[in-house]
Amino acid sequence: MRTTRVDLVGLTKHYGSAHPVEDFSLTIEPGRVTALLGPSGSGKTTLLKMIAGVLQPTSGDIRFDGESVLDLPAPERDAPMVFHNALLFPHLTVEDNVGFGLRMRKTPPTERSRRVAEMLELVSLQDLGTRRPDQLSGGQQQRVALARALVIAPRLLLLDEPLANLDPDLRGEMRELLLTVQRSLGLTILLVTHDQEDAIVIADQVALIRSGSLVQEGVPRDFFERPASAWVATFFGAANLIQGERTKSEVVTPLGRLRVMSESPAMGPVLVTIRPEAVVLDAVEGQANTFQGRVIAAEFRGTHIRIQLTAGGVDLEAAIPVDDAKGHAVGDTVRVALPPDKLWSLPAKEKRPLRPTPRS
């Protein structure tokens, strides 16, 4: 299969007064999975459709391997979309659905049926080739849709919420299938999702989009440990956001002076954040960023114990291992440490004004 590097350059789409995509730039690395993550209505699907060629951008450029494809019509881009509702053609059998793209390319019937059979085997549906789409389960339909896109040896595979309509069991299966297929074929995949779990499990690279603009891009871990803004931190479920005033590597907070990662952005009014797993209870002498706290709640969560703390009028959340020897009970006073290499600061104020974007 061919892999393609995709550059989105200042991509913009306006419909009248609605601006679903605004000045969006991103590089999609060849042979990797990039997730376009964002809440519904953030312009993800509009972006995907522009890359596929079924929507024209208002301005900006889309380049495949450095060459602009704006003048290349959708049928010639070799960038098939897989929609969340599979969109199998109901009047065609599974085989004919999968073979659709080859038929459009006038591939000889013998080669067509060979490649269709290969793809059906890849998605483990070799026995269902003669079925009609309405005789398949939702998960099977989604796999047929995937095979139908793969059979044309795409330069780029565009997935629009491919897991959204699936049961939890099937989601896991489909994720595995996507990863297996991607690895064995070395595909370039752009995946659109509103589900951060899908994004972090499947993708090598995540681009977070909000109101049509890129908010942050990076490896999945970055979004948890180094969020670019309070919105990003909240989107990824950050529990601890502490207000403070930063000078150099120190932030003055109600919890005292806290040292933060020196590479974290923003000066002046900031929010300080730390993952609950990184919060240390029962700090030892000599640890930095320590203070007294009181346990106000402790909940067993199966994989960990979630502890609610209060300190200096600030609520904090910590997650500690289930087999933690000290049974922290409500009312206990503990010595808390926030390790400086896990403490991240981000600007307290949003840089960009919020724009209403009614379309997705």
| 161 makes contact with other proteins (CB under 8 A) | no
Residue 255: exposure state from Cβ atoms within 10 A (0-12, 13-18, ≥19): buried
DSSP for 283-302, please give it: PPTT-SSEEEEEEEEEEE-S
- DSSP alpha helix (H) spans, 2-151: 44-52, 74-77, 94-98, 100-104, 109-122, 138-150
Structure tokens, 83: 């929609």
Min separation Cβ 81 and other proteins, Å: 5
Q: Among 136, 106, 107, which residue's Cα sits nearest to residue 120?
A: 136
| 133 makes contact with other proteins (CB under 8 A) | yes
Interacting residue with other proteins among 59, 89, 326, 350 (CB under 8 A): 89
| 149 makes contact with other proteins (CB under 8 A) | yes
| Residue ranges with strand state E in 146-188 | 157-160
| 72 makes contact with other proteins (CB under 8 A) | no
Min separation Cβ 156 and other proteins, Å: 10
Query: From residue 156, how far is each of 11, 34, 65, 174, 321 by CA, in Å?
Result: 18, 11, 11, 19, 42
Residue 315 near residue 308, CB atoms below 8 Å: yes
Nearer to other proteins, 9 or 92 (CB): 92
- Give how many residues touch other proteins by CB under 8 A: 30
| 83 makes contact with other proteins (CB under 8 A) | yes
Residues near 341 by beta carbon (within 8 Å), at least 6 away in sequence: 261
| 116 makes contact with other proteins (CB under 8 A) | no
Cα–Cα dist 209/231, whole Å: 11
> Restricting to residues 92-111, which ones interact with other proteins according to CB under 8 A?
100-101, 104-105
Alpha-carbon dihedral 151, 51, 38, 196, rounded to 10 degrees:
30
Min separation Cβ 22 and other proteins, Å: 22
Cα–Cα dist 139/25, whole Å: 33
| 71 makes contact with other proteins (CB under 8 A) | no
Structure tokens, 138: 């939702």
Residues near 251 by beta carbon (within 8 Å), at least 6 away in sequence: 244, 245, 257, 258, 259, 260, 270, 272, 345
The site map against other proteins for 19-58 (x = CB under 8 A) is: ------------------------------x--xxx----
Binding segment for other proteins (CB under 8 A), chosen from 81-89, 191-199, 291-299, 348-356, is 81-89
The single residue listed with the structure tokens 């379309």 is 359
Min separation Cβ 188 and other proteins, Å: 15
How many CB atoms lie under 10 A from the CB of residue 318?
A: 27
Binding segment for other proteins (CB under 8 A), chosen from 79-87, 164-172, 210-218, 334-342, is 79-87
Min separation Cβ 119 and other proteins, Å: 13
| 79 makes contact with other proteins (CB under 8 A) | yes
Nearer to other proteins, 150 or 215 (CB): 150
Nearer to other proteins, 158 or 181 (CB): 158
| 115 makes contact with other proteins (CB under 8 A) | no
Min separation Cβ 50 and other proteins, Å: 12
Min separation Cβ 54 and other proteins, Å: 4
Nearer to other proteins, 55 or 117 (CB): 55
Min separation Cβ 113 and other proteins, Å: 17
Interacting residue with other proteins among 37, 88, 146, 318 (CB under 8 A): 88
* Long-range own/partner contacts, residues 164-168 (CB < 8 A, 24 or more apart): 164/84, 164/193, 164/194, 164/195, 165/84, 165/85, 165/86, 165/138, 166/138, 166/139, 166/142, 167/138, 167/139
> Restricting to residues 300-339, which ones interact with other proteins according to CB under 8 A?
none
Q: Which residues bind other proteins (CB under 8 A)?
A: 49, 52-54, 73-81, 83, 85, 87-91, 100-101, 104-105, 133-134, 148-149, 152, 158
